[in-house]
Amino acid sequence: MTKPRDTIDRRRLLKLLGVGGVAGLAGCAGTGEAPGTETQSSGGSGGSTQSSGGESTASSGGESTESGPQMASEIKVWGWDVAAKSLDLIDEPYEEANGGQVSITQIGRADMKDKFKSTLLSGSGAPAAAMMESVDAASWVDTGGLRDVSAWLGEAGIKDKFVAGKWGPLEKDGGTFALPWDIGPVGTFYRRDVMDEHGVDVSSVETWDQYIEEGQKLPDDQYLLNLPSNDYDGLWRMMYRQIGGQPFTENGAVNINSDKSLQVARILKRIRDSGVANDLASWSSSWFTAFGEGTTASLTAGAWMEGTLKAELGDTSGQWGVFKPPAIESGGSRATNWGGSNVTIPQQVSDAKARRAWDYMAFTLGQAEHQITMYEEFGIFPALRPAYENDAFDASNEFLGGQSAGRLFADIAPNISPYRFTVDTPEVTKAINTHFRDMMTGSKTAKEAVDAAAQQVADRTGRDLA
C-alpha cells in the first residue's frame, strides 16, 4: 500500500488551469462480452454490497480487486450533458447486479472542469469518479491527482478490447489513470440535397484534392465546406493524426514543423485559395445557420457531430449523409479521430470508494451491452471494440438519409492512429491558429507558418525542436 499523493506540484496545477478553454474546441461524448465476465473478475459482484464505512488511505494501483477494503456502499460520479445522462442509464443495472448505490451528478461542462480542478487543488471534495476528455488527459494525469488503475485494468483483462489509440494520453510512467469511454472517429457530413442539385459526387472522392475539385462545381454563393479561423488547429490535428503525425517526439521535442505537418498546412491553404470554403466561426449561430440553409454543404468532424446536427438542425433530417474523410494523398489512410472521453478516479478518495468506482466503471464501460445502450440512446460512440459487432451499428439512420453510419464509423475506429497529447498541447493549439491565420492571408508561406508555430511552442515550453 502506498500513501495517496496529497500535494500537487504547483507548476503542474498552473498548467492544468490553462487547459479548460482550449479543450472547449474539442468534441466529446460531448465511447461482446456477456454480463459478468471481465467485470466480475474486476472485483465486482461477489459479496461486494456491504458498506465499508472505513476510509482506508491505501492506494489502489498495485492491489488486487479481490482484496483490500470492502467497497463503499455509495459513490458519486460527475459528468456533463448527454454523457452524464448516458452514465445514468447504467447505474440502476449496476446496482441490481452488484449492489451499492451510484449517483450521477450532471454539471455543465466548463463548471464541472473548474469544480474538479478545485477539488484537486484543495485535496478534498472530489467525487469517486469523473469523466475526463482525452484532450485534457495528459494535463490531468500530470497533476498526480488521479489514481493508477493499471493493476485493476490488468486483472479485468479488458485493456485489449479498447481501440489502441485511446491509451496514450491516459498513461504515464507505466501507470494507467483512466478507463476509455467514447471516441470520435471522423467522417465528412454532407448535405445530400445540395450535392445532388449541383452534381457533386462524393462517392468518387478519395483525396482532399479530388474533393476540392468536386467543390468547383458549386456556384459562387455556395460553399463546399467551412474553414474557421478559430479552429484551424482542429482540422490540422485531425489531418496530421490521419497520416501518423505526432506533435511531439517520444523524447518530447516539438514536431509540428515536420514534413507531414507541412503537407497538411499546404492542403488547408489549397482549400482556402480554391474558393470552396467560407470562414464562419465554428459553433457560432451563423455557422449553424449556414448548414441549416445548406449554403455550407459539408463539415468534417467526429461521429458525435451527428447528435449535434440532429439537435440543432432537426428539420434537415434525411438531407444529410456521411462518408470517410478524404485522404491526404491517394491510397492514404482515411481513419482519424476528433474528441472522446474517459472516466477517472481521483487519488484523494478512499480505497473503499475507489474500488466501488472501478467496479462501476468496468461494468459500464467494459461491457458491450452497456456501451450499446448509451450509443443507441445518446449516440455516445464506444471505444470498446467488441461493441462494434452489435447490429445497432448496421441500423438505418433516418437523419442521415437511411445510411448505416454506425458501421462506417465502426470500420474507421480500429484504424485510428495514436496521438501524443501532452501538458503543452494548449500551446500547440495557440501556435497553429496564430500562424495559420497568417498563412491564410498570404503573409506567411505554409513552411514559414509551421516553422513559426513550432518555434513559438519551443520558446514557451522550453522544449527542443525535433
Length of the chain in terms of residues written:
466
Mean pLDDT of the chain: 85
**Span 414-447, pLDDT tens digits:** 898 888 888 899 899 999 999 999 999 999 999 9
Cα distances from 6 to residues 3, 175, 208, 216, in angstroms, run 9, 18, 50, 59
Tens-place pLDDT, residues 330-373: 999 999 999 889 999 999 999 999 999 999 999 999 999 999 99
Distances (CA, A) of 55 to 74, 204, 352: 13, 62, 7
Rounded distance, CA 253 to CA 258, Å? 11
The answer to whether residue 210 scores a pLDDT higher than 70 is yes
The pLDDT score that the predictor gives to residue 234 is 92
Retrieve residue 374's grid coordinates.
448509451
- pLDDT-wise least confident of 225-234, 266-275, 314-323, 375-384: 375-384
Q: Give the rounded distance of the alpha carbon of 357 from its chain centre.
A: 21
Report d(CA 94, CA 97) in Å as an integer.
Answer: 5
What pLDDT shows up at residue 48?
Answer: 30
Give the whole-angstrom CA distance, residue 151 versus residue 347.
Answer: 15
CA distance 158 to 161: 5
Report CA-CA distances (Å) from 407 to 327, 353, 367: 19, 37, 19
Three-state secondary-structure class, residue 348: coil
Asked whether residue 289 carries a pLDDT value surpassing 50, the answer given is yes
In three-state secondary structure terms, 22 is helix
pLDDT tens-digit map of 300-312: 999 888 878 888 8
- Number of Cβ atoms within 10 Å of the Cβ of 92: 10
How many of the other CB atoms lie within 10 Å of CB of 338? Answer: 25
pLDDT at 122 over 90: no
CA–CA separation, 327 vs 339, rounded Å?
19
Beta bridge partners of 189: 299, 322
Q: Cell 482506508 identifies what position?
A: 56
For residue 418, report the phi and psi dihedrals to the nearest 5 degrees: -65, 160
Amino acid at 78: W
The model carries a pTM of 0.76
Does 200 or 4 have the greater pLDDT score? 200
Residue range 251-274: mean pLDDT, rounded = 97
Q: Is the pLDDT of residue 161 over 90?
A: yes
Higher-confidence residue: 259 or 55?
259
Q: How far apart are CA 250 and CA 273, in angstroms?
A: 35
342 compared with 113, residue with greater pLDDT:
342
Beta strand pairing status for 129-133 and 74-79? parallel
Per-residue pLDDT band at 27 (split at 50, 70, 90): very low
